[in-house]
Amino acid sequence: MSTSTEHDKTAARDRENARKLLMSAADTTWRMFVPPLILVPAGIFVDLKLHSMPWLTILAAVAGLGVAVWLVGRQLRGDK
């Protein structure tokens, strides 16, 4: 086998590994940030309507963190 062919296969494998790493990082990022970004503003909105600041906002932040931890844990276990 020629050196050029081996180099091409190695470069293709490196590109595929880099793509997989980037996709995994993107998948982890949304799992970490989307739940709190949705739940905290919802908690603020409900707190403002019910005049209960800051209790529902705090509850929503904790729930968002819990959902994020659960989603990342599922990802690490291989569940989708």
- Confidence (pLDDT) at 63: 98
Find the angle CA(14)-CA(19)-CA(20) to the nearest 5 degrees: 100
Q: Kindly give, in sequence order, each residue whose CB lies less than 8 Å from that of residue 17, ignoring residues fewer than 6 positions away.
A: none
Rounded to two decimals, the pTM is 0.79
Model pLDDT for residues 12-31, shown as the tens digit of each residue: 999 999 999 999 999 999 99
Tokens 């709190």 belong to residue: 36
In the chain, where the domains are located: 3-77
pLDDT band at 57 (very low <50, low <70, confident <90, very high): very high
